[in-house]
Amino acid sequence: MSAGTAEGPGTPAAGAPRIVVGGILVRGGRLLAARRTAPAETAGRWEFPGGKAEPGEDERAALVRELREELGVEVRPLVRVPGEWPLTAGFVLRVWTAELLRGVPEPLEDHDELRWVTPQEAAALPWLDPDRPALAWAAGRL
């Protein structure tokens, strides 16, 4: 809700950032990295799968929806990585750990490769820069 502006209650403040939410899935000491296919400036870079929360959509619900669409799996968000990281104009990245409930992740949308990587292997991949702090946080807990 905007605080004390003329926009009225419930109206997002002008310029309020929209959220991109990414998910950290962990299996046997490895985390799931996904290689983007688009847009061109991000193609070939690695990230945590996820996407944009719709206006008004809870970010956990957005993560569940995005991982269903992109990977074909059902997940349950667990813990939000402390912090958020600015993206291109108007978006911020937030990252959650998530439990894999059902399914085997497949690169159905937005990615051409998925890889379960150790922290050492992850560090050697060309990640999108905004993901690096969340990657470091996760790697320290594996």
Ligand X SMILES: Nc1nc2c([nH]c(=O)n2[C@H]2C[C@H](O)[C@@H](COP(=O)(O)OP(=O)(O)OP(=O)(O)O)O2)c(=O)[nH]1
Q: Comparing C-alpha atoms, which of 39, 41, 65 is closest to residue 49?
A: 65
Residues 7-26 binding ligand X (CB under 6 A) are 20, 22
Residue 1 vs 61, nearer CB to ligand X:
61
93 forms part of the interface with ligand X (CB under 6 A)? yes
> What does the chain look like in DSSP terms, one character per residue?
--SS-TT-TTPPPTTPPEEEEEEEEEETTEEEEEEE--STTTTT-EE-SEEEPPTT--HHHHHHHHHHHHHS-EEEEEEEPS--EE-STTEEEEEEEEEEEES-----SSEEEEEEE-HHHHHTS-B-GGGHHHHHHHHTT-
Number of residues binding to ligand X, judged by CB under 6 A? 15
Residues 103-142 binding ligand X (CB under 6 A) are 110, 128, 130-131
Q: Report in angstroms how near the CB of residue 26 gets to ligand X at its nearest.
A: 15
Q: Report in angstroms how near the CB of residue 8 gets to ligand X at its nearest.
A: 27
Residue 32 vs 87, nearer CB to ligand X:
87
32 and 40 Cβ atoms separated by less than 8 Å:
no
Omega cis (within 30) before 126: no
77 forms part of the interface with ligand X (CB under 6 A)? no
Residues 40-69 binding ligand X (CB under 6 A) are 42, 47-48, 50-52, 66
Residue 71 vs 87, nearer CB to ligand X:
87
Q: Which residue is nearest to ligand X (CB)?
A: 51
- Binding footprint of ligand X on the chain (CB under 6 A): 20, 22, 42, 47-48, 50-52, 66, 87, 93, 110, 128, 130-131
